[in-house]
Amino acid sequence: MFSHVETFGVDHQTEALVIGLFNQNQQFEGLLKEIDEALGGQLIHLIKEGDIRVQEKRTSTIHTLGKLGAKRLYFVGLGRKQALTKNGLKESFGLLFKKLKEAKISNASVALSTFDTGVWSEQETAALLGEAQQLAMYEFENYKKKSNEPDKQLEKIELFSFYKDVVQSALVGYTYGKATNSARTLVNLPSNMLTATDLANYAVEMAHTYGFEYEILEKEEMETLGMGALLAVNQGSAEPPKMIVLKYQGKEKWEDVIGLVGKGITFDTGGYSIKSKDGIVGMKTDMGGAASVLGAMEAIGELKPHQNVVAVIPSTDNVISARAFKPDDVITAMNGKTIEVLNTDAEGRLALADGISYAKHHGANYLVDVATLTGGVIVALGTHTTGAMTNDSALLQQIAKASIETGEPIWELPITERDKKRVRGSKVADLNNSPGREGHAIMAGTFIGEFAEQTPWVHLDIAGTATSAASHELGPSGATGVMVRTLATMVCSFETN
């Protein structure tokens, strides 16, 4: 996909030459000057007349009419140099790749130096480019009748730079983007094609690919271990539950283990607390947390950081039958705590309770759970920001730093002693799973925190960010693969407390 070119003249043959343009007084030098001269000094006039746009997130295309080796020039508007951010540049690259795809360009060359802000390196620019290429060009292969027309793909990207290691940097970005796309595909799959068994099989295949240790607990083993919370959610289903475990050991000893726990509810009817006819549509995406964790593990398997990671995914669907669990039931979780069920639609936190406990059983010293957990987080934070709760500010700071780097913003919601009292307010059990609508997202996080106990823990509620209703610079509508890159970045840069 990526190759390096150190000497790049105007006669270099390519379908598309990509150039970055800042919104500033144009004094062409280097490659831009050579191009301008080859085109008879017309570039500055095209910029002044608006045929070539320099505003951020604007792309312009001109045909060279045989005056250059490149058939077309693609100009990426970058706005003011001092205002450009990494995420802004990544989104601009995303728009560029969408245009290249629409034009059916199979090979392109990128002059990396023309994107230089003086703030970050060409290697970092190359990483942003590689990530954007995967994210922006993603498509879910749906089940519509296929056309016989061949689909021409972008197969080759040449990076013009004096730094040879830009290719390696681009591949790192590519890896993050590809892993995110894997998560997107899992979330986009219909639930009849992605059961808990299918999810487990996917994880096992990943384990074989990357040499992970793995474990898939079956229902009988969960019963022996006392995983009554996950088993309660599964009671109504014809599909068996799975507790999925992947272990990556990047250190000599199994210590300082980061536990990633993903909610794997493959479809959520709400159970006897049934969802509305409109609210139930789209509940195939309720395993978005599991997809994020699996995507992060794919990136970890590719990048091989010097860290230890255990990924745990409690998986089942939540459906209604004569055997399904009911409001007023009392169940016992793996750690021995009893739970009064007040809402069978608050099932994700039950599955995560046993998932958190099992991650600790496998030696997790730090815990991060990811889940499409509550509509309340959408009311609080909208659809662009992930809600976060924690019992350890240092761990949250590491995740927040990674989220800023990847452009996946998070915002902390509080957990107070009063919140804990509400979750512990059952008259018949240690906990109740749904104390009421007020502070709904916080109640869910507080409940999960009862199982993290003293282990440093962060909860990420991605109910609002796991999907997008509209297409955007870095992908189509549908699943976003949110938190894949944040989790992987956090793991790769993790510092023990």
Q: Which of 145, 144, 167, 141 is nearest to 156 (CA)?
A: 167
User: Rounded to an integer, what distance in angstroms lies between the CA atom of residue 156 and that of residue 447?
Assistant: 49
Burial class (CB in 10 A: 0-12, 13-18, 19+), 136: buried
Q: What values do phi and psi take at 453, rounded to 5?
A: 55, -120
198 in a labelled binding site: no
Q: Is 263 annotated as a binding residue?
A: yes
Q: Is 149 exposed, middle or buried (0-12, 13-18, 19+ CB in 10 A)?
A: exposed
The catalytic residue positions are 275, 349
CA distance 449 to 437: 18
Pairing of strands 156-160, 107-111: parallel
What is the crossing angle of helices 484-492 and 288-303, to 10°? 40
Long-range contacts of 416-425 (CB under 8 A, 24+ apart): 419/443, 419/446, 420/446, 420/449, 420/450, 422/446, 423/447, 423/450, 424/450
CA–CA separation, 316 and 244 (whole Å): 11
Q: Is 215 annotated as a binding-site member?
A: no
Residues in Cβ contact with 346 at an 8 Å cutoff, skipping those fewer than 6 apart = 273, 433, 434, 444
Residue 397 CA to residue 376 CA, distance in Å, equals 23
347 is in an annotated binding site: yes
Buried residues in 279-307 as b, exposed as e (16+ CB within 10 A): eeeebbbbbbbbbbbbbbbbbbbbbebeb
51 is in an annotated binding site: no
* Binding residue ranges for Mn(2+): 263, 268, 286, 345, 347
* Binding residue ranges: 263, 268, 286, 345, 347
